[in-house]
């Protein structure tokens, strides 16, 4: 026996092990199959030996070969032998082989039952483990039935390693032997709360798989899983539970929340992390995040809010805020609503209102927010109102109108008197209405609103602002009323003040009392003067003259004290009591107002002044809160990087919208959308043109990227954008190409060229054809890129009487869509005007009298009136049209330019040589000349070209010299003497209008430089 073992071991040393086999296969790449078949023969020999080590080695090699696709089922019995080895090493090899190649129809499996049972109960946990692992792969219904009990016992094994495997394999057992499920289930359920996380995880795994097959039986476990989900730190378990809930939710909708919430929360958390590094990728999920605002779970809503803050851009601000506003309306509980409110304001005001393109909209949002009940952020809204009204000049009129409405409806806001309540906005409203009262439509009404007795119930600091601003309003009202003949109105106003103010004089608040009594006395004095018919409005207004500028609280500190200046020393005598009355009240109004340093009149030289100015500008530039109205300081902002984005000074409000009553911010959203859509359409067009540009290789190149955030221009800059449009469209310059048939060509019939008329005629024709074709082709190329419905434009100028030009335009629809309702419009210049039918305005377009199906072209003529013809000029124009597709129709436009060359004002007029000579002799004509170099064409071609392109006729031709004549529509004579020698052509020209002549010669030069 011992000898046998030794022999076996020695034999083994000469056998190939797995590594040798692999190496051998790698070394026999050419005859791999042959090599392997010899190996299999060897293996067969090895398997015949008694030595278990040799057999195990052989089985191990077989497992490898199985992976390579060789059928090893013939060795099944040997595998069972190896599995039965008492040694773990061999057992493992055996079980691995079995798991790789045994299946239900492997008949030797039935022989394994007892061996497996033995292994399962082995004292060595790894024997058990290996058996379980192997069994999990090849368990049959018979094995399941026979071993179910053993495995169930293992589920309570002392070693967690065994427990988790036993639990997991139970699923396989259930599958093969479903009857086992009922008795095993209680123990399985128990395992959900196993102290070992691995066993827990296995139990979750099994139940999840079971639940997938039959969800409703596992609903009762939901609370248990929920507990696990909240307590487990194992991600794998969490994922599984969420998957399980996914299977259960169709039966129990309540579960959706619990699991969706976890996922949502985690998702949002992850997003906020991604946002910091990849904002773009998160922005695309905006809708999803907005949906999360509807979530029942407050922490998810707050998370979503956080995300939104980082996501806003000019593009989506309005949309996001609109959604948020909806949520504000719906929100339950003031905490969340307040959170929403602050978020809205945060989002809008971040980076100095960087993302706001329309401040009217923002004011409306603020006003809408005041309607919130019970908010604690009245102060926040108020400060935003003040900030915007002060910093955005263009918005003031609108803001004032809104604030006046607020004041009028103050009773709606005064419900909440607590500190920081919504009534705080009245503070802002009163101040804005007072300070910018010149914008008020009906100051009198606002004044009355501010002096209502109910005001006395407001908090003291608000009353104080009311009183002070009532005085400002009073001044404004006086001013408007004093212009009238009826002085009683003004006196009545004063009386109103005198009637109402005493209420405030009695106020318990010292500041209110002080201001009220001060102003009351003032008004009484004014009334006295009024009764004497003294005009005092001017003086009253002087009290509040000057504009308040917001300055950062510490701005003054940063201005260096000039050397030699002692701020504490009196420079003049102490001021008398009457000093600068108008400055005092101001200081009270704005908290932001810096303390006025004592007036100093030190003499400072120019240099020092300049230095200080510079320093101050620097300071202002660096301080975004420091807003100046003067144009010079505006420049400072624009020149300084970092502050230029502050939209304050750039805003040029278009016609302010008059919104009756409380505004609806929604309409701005709509407006904005429309505007953007328009912009986008224009941009698309631009881009198309740009592409076209590149193709034809002409003109300056622009970067054309996808519409980026920066492309969105604030609403109030639209004007600028449209102004730029024609520039970009300069490519659409349309050429005047005289058309042979429309001109009736006097050239041909009246030309006096005695020599070789036939030949000339032919070349003339050729010359006539060629350029026309060319220009059409050129344009076609340019338009080809336009994927859809574009047109080829050909413009032919035609001349009739002294001041009229006829432009023929060929519209060709190159696209697949139907074009209709085309309107042709040109921006008239002083000199040239499009003739429009009687009764239409100067900016009306002309309807093109036809429609264009795809691929069709047609010609339309337009008459222009021209005053002076001596200069060429370009007219900008637009063609608007409706593109009709099967399912939709869009309104589009195409910008173009009409180029009126001087040549187009010339009419080919025949002239006889004696008349020509007489004309030259008259001495009325002024001369000019031009030389063309490198003209490489026969002389008669050259002449034909001049005739064709520039509407001349040949008067006489002698060898390489020719005289030519043309006449302008206004009767200018143009005479040419064209001489050629080699490649040089010299043209001497005479005309009674030197400017016209110069331009014509330039154009001739141009013509030849192009060939």
Min dist. Cβ of residue 166 to another protein (A):
10
69 vs 839, beta carbon nearer another protein = 69
For the chain, the first-to-last Cα distance in angstroms comes to 110
- Would you list the DSSP string of 349-368? HHHHHTT-S-HHHHHHHHHH
Q: Which of 82, 83, 96, 977 binds another protein (CB under 8 A)?
A: 96
- Kindly give the residue spans of alpha helices, DSSP state H, lying in 139-234: 141-154, 160-176, 181-191, 197-213, 222-231
Number of residues located near another protein, criterion CB under 8 A: 61
Cβ pair 169, 154 in contact under 8 A: no
What does residue 40 show for φ and ψ, rounded to 5 degrees? -65, -35
The residue range among 19-27, 108-116, 529-537, 839-847 that interacts with another protein, by the rule CB under 8 A, is 19-27
Cβ pair 15, 46 in contact under 8 A: yes
Q: Does residue 191 belong to the site contacting another protein (CB under 8 A)?
A: no
Q: Rounded distance, CA 877 to CA 882, Å?
A: 17
CA distances from 682 to 316, 679, 883 (A): 20, 5, 15
Q: Which of 9, 488, 521, 756 binds another protein (CB under 8 A)?
A: 9
CA 361 to the chain's CA centroid: 18
The residue range among 2-10, 541-549, 624-632, 900-908 that interacts with another protein, by the rule CB under 8 A, is 2-10
Cβ pair 961, 985 in contact under 8 A: no
Beta-carbon contacts of 715 under 8 Å, excluding residues fewer than 6 positions away, are 357, 358, 654, 671, 672, 675
Q: Which of 39, 40, 47, 60 binds another protein (CB under 8 A)?
A: 60
Q: Which of residues 213-252 bind another protein (CB under 8 A)?
A: 234-236, 239-240, 242-243
Beta-carbon contacts of 982 under 8 Å, excluding residues fewer than 6 positions away, are none
The residue range among 169-177, 408-416, 598-606, 619-627 that interacts with another protein, by the rule CB under 8 A, is 169-177
**Which of 661, 723, 686 is CA-nearest to residue 367?**
661
Q: Does residue 67 belong to the site contacting another protein (CB under 8 A)?
A: yes
Instruction: Return the ∠ at Cα 50 (arms to 46 and 55), rounded to 5°.
Output: 45
The residue range among 161-169, 335-343, 363-371, 427-435 that interacts with another protein, by the rule CB under 8 A, is 161-169
Place of tokens 């407050």: 298
Instruction: Return the ∠ at Cα 556 (arms to 554 and 561), rounded to 5°.
Output: 130
Spell out, one character per residue from 640 to 659, where the chain touches another protein: x when CB under 8 A holds, - when not. --------------------
Cβ pair 414, 454 in contact under 8 A: yes
Q: Which two tokens stand for residue 740?
A: 């042979």
Q: Rounded distance, CA 514 to CA 146, Å?
A: 101
Q: Does residue 367 belong to the site contacting another protein (CB under 8 A)?
A: no
Q: Which of 116, 151, 208, 406 binds another protein (CB under 8 A)?
A: 208
92 vs 500, beta carbon nearer another protein = 92
Number of helices (H), then strands (E), belonging to the chain: the values are 42, 15
Q: Does residue 104 belong to the site contacting another protein (CB under 8 A)?
A: yes
Q: Does residue 93 belong to the site contacting another protein (CB under 8 A)?
A: yes
126 vs 309, beta carbon nearer another protein = 126
Min dist. Cβ of residue 260 to another protein (A):
15
**Which of 691, 861, 859, 701 is CA-nearest to residue 785?**
691
Q: Which two tokens stand for residue 316?
A: 């989506």
Q: Does residue 564 belong to the site contacting another protein (CB under 8 A)?
A: no
Min dist. Cβ of residue 834 to another protein (A):
57
Q: Does residue 68 belong to the site contacting another protein (CB under 8 A)?
A: yes
Kindly give the pairing relationship between strand 889-900 and strand 733-734: parallel
Q: Does residue 30 belong to the site contacting another protein (CB under 8 A)?
A: no
Min dist. Cβ of residue 742 to another protein (A):
60
Q: Does residue 122 belong to the site contacting another protein (CB under 8 A)?
A: no
Beta-carbon contacts of 613 under 8 Å, excluding residues fewer than 6 positions away, are none
Q: Does residue 420 belong to the site contacting another protein (CB under 8 A)?
A: no
907, containing H or E segment: strand 906-907
Place of tokens 């639990």: 167
Q: Which of 70, 257, 336, 625 binds another protein (CB under 8 A)?
A: 70
168 vs 519, beta carbon nearer another protein = 168
- Output b/e per residue, 914-923; b: 16+ Cβ within 10 A: eebeebbeee
The residue range among 22-30, 445-453, 642-650, 897-905 that interacts with another protein, by the rule CB under 8 A, is 22-30
Min dist. Cβ of residue 696 to another protein (A):
36
Min dist. Cβ of residue 56 to another protein (A):
11
Q: Rounded distance, CA 170 to CA 151, Å?
A: 7
Q: Which two tokens stand for residue 954?
A: 């040949």
63 vs 908, beta carbon nearer another protein = 63
Q: Does residue 69 belong to the site contacting another protein (CB under 8 A)?
A: yes
Min dist. Cβ of residue 181 to another protein (A):
16
Q: Which of residues 503-542 bind another protein (CB under 8 A)?
A: none
Residue 546 DSSP class: S
- Output b/e per residue, 739-761; b: 16+ Cβ within 10 A: bbeebebebbeebebeeeeeebe
269, containing H or E segment: helix 254-277
166 vs 501, beta carbon nearer another protein = 166
167 vs 822, beta carbon nearer another protein = 167
Q: Which of 66, 156, 742, 831 binds another protein (CB under 8 A)?
A: 66
137 vs 326, beta carbon nearer another protein = 137
Min dist. Cβ of residue 10 to another protein (A):
8
Kindly give the pairing relationship between strand 818-826 and strand 832-834: unpaired
Q: Which of residues 123-142 bind another protein (CB under 8 A)?
A: 124, 126, 129-130, 132-133, 136-137, 139
Min dist. Cβ of residue 375 to another protein (A):
42
Residues in the chain: 1011
Q: Does residue 198 belong to the site contacting another protein (CB under 8 A)?
A: yes
172 vs 322, beta carbon nearer another protein = 172
67 vs 1011, beta carbon nearer another protein = 67
Q: Does residue 202 belong to the site contacting another protein (CB under 8 A)?
A: yes
Q: Does residue 64 belong to the site contacting another protein (CB under 8 A)?
A: yes
180 vs 384, beta carbon nearer another protein = 180
137 vs 288, beta carbon nearer another protein = 137
Map residue 964 onto helix, strand or coil.
strand
Min dist. Cβ of residue 79 to another protein (A):
14
255, containing H or E segment: helix 254-277
- Beta-bridge partner residues of 865: 804, 833
Min dist. Cβ of residue 34 to another protein (A):
18
Q: Rounded distance, CA 287 to CA 299, Å?
A: 18
196 vs 988, beta carbon nearer another protein = 196
Q: Which of 6, 219, 545, 766 binds another protein (CB under 8 A)?
A: 6
Q: Does residue 366 belong to the site contacting another protein (CB under 8 A)?
A: no
Q: Which of 200, 201, 468, 980 binds another protein (CB under 8 A)?
A: 201
9 vs 442, beta carbon nearer another protein = 9
Instruction: Return the ∠ at Cα 721 (arms to 716 and 727), rounded to 5°.
Output: 160
Residues of the shown chain interacting with another protein in the complex, contacts defined by CB under 8 A: 2-3, 5-6, 9, 18-19, 22-23, 26, 53, 60, 63-64, 66-71, 87-89, 92-93, 96, 100, 103-104, 124, 126, 129-130, 132-133, 136-137, 139, 161, 164-165, 168-169, 171-172, 197-198, 201-202, 205-206, 208-209, 212, 234-236, 239-240, 242-243
């Amino acid at each position: 026996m011992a000898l046998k073992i030794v022999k076996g071991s020695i034999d083994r040393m000469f056998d190939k092990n797995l590594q040798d086999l692999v190496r051998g296969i790698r070394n026999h790449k050419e005859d791999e199959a042959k090599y392997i078949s010899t190996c299999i023969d060897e293996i067969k020999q090895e398997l015949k030996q008694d030595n278990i080590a040799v057999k195990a080695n052989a089985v191990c090699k077989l497992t490898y070969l199985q992976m390579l696709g060789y059928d090893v089922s013939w060795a099944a019995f040997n595998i069972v032998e190896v599995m039965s080895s008492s040694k773990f090493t061999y057992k493992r090899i055996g079980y691995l082989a079995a798991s790789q190649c045994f299946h239900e129809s492997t008949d030797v499996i039935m022989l394994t039952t007892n061996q497996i049972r033995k292994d399962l109960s082995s004292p060595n946990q790894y024997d058990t483990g290996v058996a379980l692992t192997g069994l999990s792969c090849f368990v049959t219904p018979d094995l399941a039935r026979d071993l179910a009990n053993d495995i169930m016992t293992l589920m309570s094994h002392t070693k967690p390693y065994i427990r988790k495997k036993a639990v997991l394999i139970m699923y396989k057992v259930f599958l093969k032997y479903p009857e086992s499920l009922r008795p095993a289930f209680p123990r399985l359920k128990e395992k959900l709360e196993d102290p070992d996380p691995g066993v827990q995880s296995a139990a979750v795994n099994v139940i999840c798989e079971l639940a997938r097959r039959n969800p409703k039986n596992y609903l009762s476990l939901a609370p248990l899983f929920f507990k696990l989900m909240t307590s487990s730190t194992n991600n794998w378990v969490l994922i599984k539970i969420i998957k399980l809930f996914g299977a259960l939710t169709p039966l129990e909708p309540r579960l959706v929340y619990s699991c969706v919430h976890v996922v949502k929360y985690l998702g949002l958390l992850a997003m906020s992390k991604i946002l910091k590094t990849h904002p773009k990728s998160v922005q695309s999920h905006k809708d999803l995040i907005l949906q999360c605002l509807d979530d029942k779970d407050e922490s998810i809503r707050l998370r979503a809010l956080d995300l939104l803050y980082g996501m806003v851009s000019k593009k989506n601000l309005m949309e996001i805020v609109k959604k948020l506003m909806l949520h504000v309306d719906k929100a339950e509980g003031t905490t969340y609503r307040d959170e929403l409110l602050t978020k809205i304001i945060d989002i809008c005001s971040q980076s100095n209102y960087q993302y706001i393109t329309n401040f009217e909209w923002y004011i409306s949002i603020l006003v809408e927010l005041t309607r919130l009940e019970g908010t604690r952020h009245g102060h926040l809204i108020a400060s935003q109102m003040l900030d915007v009204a002060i910093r955005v000049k263009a918005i003031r009129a609108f803001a004032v109108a809104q604030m006046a409405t607020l004041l009028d409806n103050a009773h709606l806001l005064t419900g909440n008197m607590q500190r920081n309540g919504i009534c705080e906005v009245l503070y802002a409203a009163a101040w804005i209405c007072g300070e910018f009262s010149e914008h008020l439509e009906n100051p009198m009404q606002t004044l009355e609103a501010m002096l209502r007795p109910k005001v006395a119930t407001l908090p003291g600091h608000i009353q104080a602002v009311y009183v002070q601003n009532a005085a400002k309003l009073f001044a404004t009202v006086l001013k408007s009323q004093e212009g009238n003949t009826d002085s009683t109105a003004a006196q009545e106003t004063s009386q109103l003040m005198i009637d109402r103010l005493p209420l405030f004089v009695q106020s318990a608040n010292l500041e209110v009392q002080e201001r009220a009594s001060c102003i009351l006395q003032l008004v009484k004095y004014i009334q006295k003067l009024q009764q004497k018919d003294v005009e005092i409005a001017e003086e009253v207004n002087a009290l509040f003259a000057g504009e308040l500028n917001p300055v950062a609280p510490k701005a003054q500190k940063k201005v260096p004290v000039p050397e030699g200046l002692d701020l504490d020393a009196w420079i003049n005598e102490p001021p008398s009591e009457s000093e600068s009355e108008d400055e005092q009240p101001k200081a009270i109004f704005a908290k932001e107002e810096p303390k006025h340093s004592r007036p100093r009149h030190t003499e400072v030289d120019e240099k020092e002044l300049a230095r200080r100015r510079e320093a101050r500008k620097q300071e202002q530039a660096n301080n975004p809160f420091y807003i100046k109205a003067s144009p010079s300081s505006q420049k400072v902002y624009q020149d300084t990087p970092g502050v230029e984005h502050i939209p304050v000074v750039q805003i040029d409000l278009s016609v302010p919208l008059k919104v009756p009553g409380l505004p609806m911010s929604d309409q701005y959203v709509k407006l904005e959308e429309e505007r953007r859509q328009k912009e986008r359409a224009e941009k698309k067009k631009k881009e198309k043109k740009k592409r076209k540009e590149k193709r034809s290789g002409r003109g300056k190149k622009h970067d054309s990227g996808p519409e980026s955030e920066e492309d969105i221009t604030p609403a109030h800059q639209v004007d600028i954008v449209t102004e730029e449009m024609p520039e970009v469209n300069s490519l659409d310059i349309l050429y005047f190409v005289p058309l042979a048939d429309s001109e009736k060509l006097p050239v041909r019939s009246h030309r006096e060229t005695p020599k070789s008329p036939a030949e000339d005629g032919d070349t003339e024709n050729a010359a006539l054809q060629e350029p026309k074709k060319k220009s059409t082709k050129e344009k076609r190329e340019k338009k080809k890129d336009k994927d859809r419905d574009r047109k080829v434009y050909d413009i032919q100028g035609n001349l009739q009487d002294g001041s009229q030009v006829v432009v023929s335009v060929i519209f060709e629809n190159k696209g697949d869509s139907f074009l209709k309702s085309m309107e042709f419009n040109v921006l008239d210049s002083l000199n040239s005007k499009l003739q429009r039918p009687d009764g239409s305005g100067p900016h009306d377009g002309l309807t093109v009298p036809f429609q264009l199906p795809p691929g069709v072209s047609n010609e339309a003529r337009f008459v222009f009136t021209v005053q002076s013809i001596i200069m060429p000029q370009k007219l900008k124009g637009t063609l608007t049209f409706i593109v009709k597709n099967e399912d939709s129709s869009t309104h589009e436009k195409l910008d173009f330019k009409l180029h009126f060359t001087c040549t187009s004002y010339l009419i080919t007029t025949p002239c006889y040589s004696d008349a020509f000579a007489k004309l030259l002799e008259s001495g009325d004509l002024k001369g000019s000349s031009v030389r063309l170099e490198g003209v490489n064409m026969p002389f008669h071609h050259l002449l034909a070209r001049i005739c064709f392109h520039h509407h001349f006729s040949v008067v006489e031709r002698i060898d390489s010299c020719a005289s030519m004549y043309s006449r302008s529509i206004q009767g200018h004579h143009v005479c040419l003497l064209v001489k050629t020698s080699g490649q040089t052509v010299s043209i001497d020209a005479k005309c009674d209008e030197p400017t016209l002549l110069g331009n014509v010669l330039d154009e001739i030069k141009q013509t030849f430089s192009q060939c």
